[in-house]
Homo-oligomer: A and B are copies of this chain.
Amino acid sequence: MGKELTIVDVARHARVSPTTVSNFLNGRDAEMRPETKARVRRSIDELGYRPNLVARRLRTGRASMIGLIVPSVANPFWGSWARVLEAHALDHGYQVFLCNSERNPGRERRYAEELWANGVDTVVLSTSLPSLEHLSEVMVSGLRVIAFDRESQPDDPPTLSSVSVDNVLGARLATRHLIELGHKRIGFISGAIATVSRRRRLAGYREELESAHLSYDPELVWTDSGYGDAESALVGNRGMGALLRLPQPPTAVVTINDMYALGACAAIRDAGLDVPGVSVVGFDDVVLAKLWSPPLTTIHQPLDKMAKFILDAVCNRAQDDEQRDKSSVMQPHLVIRDSTSPPPLARTLASSRSQDGAGRGTDV
């Protein structure tokens, strides 16, 4: 590992001064004699020189890296999000530093500080926690945080930006779809309602129910105690199992994300029923959703657009730091696939008209 090459070696080789090499490296080559320029270039790749980014960073202050904190890349949704953001970042000359926090404030804080200490000056925080207290210290130091999947809150620090889908709308779309199909008893499955986005999804579900004059029945809302990021499918599975064991089980269910939905599907089959005999709608539209059988109806998040927004923000930083649209809420949309269908007629009748034992009725 014989001694890294430095800018001085290149300079010597090219018979110029270090400054010239530096100028060349940093695009300050407008008024440079073409011949010199060529010589420098040649020396650089003849020697196989690569600038030491650490030194550069120390000198110039901060790095061209952005941090990304997610709950857990073991969950395909976060994995995809990481991929998308990385792709955009690379296009803009940024690297992304990926961290898994399990939504643990302590770890988030540790990561944020580590990132900051490493010269990373902006981090995309994707854990949706309502409070950002634990990061306030690093934020006043200068770390810029952009929240993902966390609609901005009344008392957020002014330096915080955010990108998110309209979660209320998403949940409403999901619920409405089920209502329009004729479902009356619609369940809701989630892990701990302890993030901004989950709260809002639950709110959307409830609002839509009420605006359709269906009563909101807490019994139909199954909620776990943990976040269940790594094993969401398992949690969804348990939740659906519980809902199915109710005296009057739901005929359809909205879940907080696709992995929960997949777990729910499995529970339905395990109970001897089938999907869409019991309808399921997910949230996120992960790749697996369309490959599932039956393919999962879900709410799509425009990850690509969101990543683009973030990179715009990262790049146009210095110029108009003042009130540019720092936050953005995007439109999710419903993707209808085969995991949803009208409720079985018999059951619909049975639950709408109280007494109707033999009501197998006409098959429309």
Name which residue of chain B comes closest to A137, CB basis: B48
* A292 in complex: contacting residue of B51, B78, B230, B266, CB < 8 Å: B266
**Contact among B1, B117, B287 for A52, CB-based, below 8 A:** B117
A293 within 8 A of B: yes
Shortest CB–CB separation between residue A79 and chain B, in angstroms? 4
Q: Which of A92-100, A242-250, A339-347 contacts B (4 or more CB under 8 A)?
A: A92-100
Of the listed residues A75, A79, A82, A262, the one surrounded by the most CB atoms of chain B closer than 10 A to its CB is A79
The interface bits of chain A over 174-202 (1 if a CB of B lies within 8 angstroms of the residue's CB, else 0) are: 00000000000000000000000000000
Interface of A is mostly: helix
Least CB distance, A278 to chain B, in whole angstroms:
14
Given contacts A1-B141, A48-B137, contact A233 B291 (CB under 8 A): yes
Question: Contacts of A114 on B, CB cut-off 8 Å?
Answer: 53, 95
For A230-247 the 0/1 string (1 means CB < 8 A from B) is: 110110010000000000
CA distance A72 to B296 in the complex (A): 23
Residues of chain A at interface, number, CB under 8 A: 53
Q: Closest residue to A51 on the B side, CB-wise?
A: B117
Docked pose: A33 CA to B293 CA in angstroms = 69
CB distance from A91 to the nearest CB of B (A): 13
Judged by a CB distance under 8 angstroms, whether A19 is at the interface is no
Are B57 and A54 in touch, CB under 8 angstroms? yes
Chain B residues with CB under 8 Å of A29's CB are none
Contact of A73 (CB < 8 Å), options: B79, B99, B231: B79
Contact A54 B118 (CB under 8 A): yes
In the bound complex, CA of A230 to CA of B265 (Å): 23
Interface residues of A (CB under 8 A from B): 1, 4, 48, 50-55, 57-58, 63, 72-76, 78-80, 82-83, 86, 95, 97-100, 113-114, 116-119, 137, 141-142, 230-231, 233-234, 237, 262-263, 265-266, 269-270, 287-288, 291-293
Q: Can you list 18 A-B contacts with CB-CB less than 8 angstroms, sorted by A residue number?
A: A1-B141, A52-B58, A53-B119, A54-B57, A54-B58, A54-B63, A54-B119, A58-B58, A73-B83, A74-B79, A76-B76, A82-B98, A83-B100, A83-B230, A97-B98, A262-B288, A265-B293, A266-B292
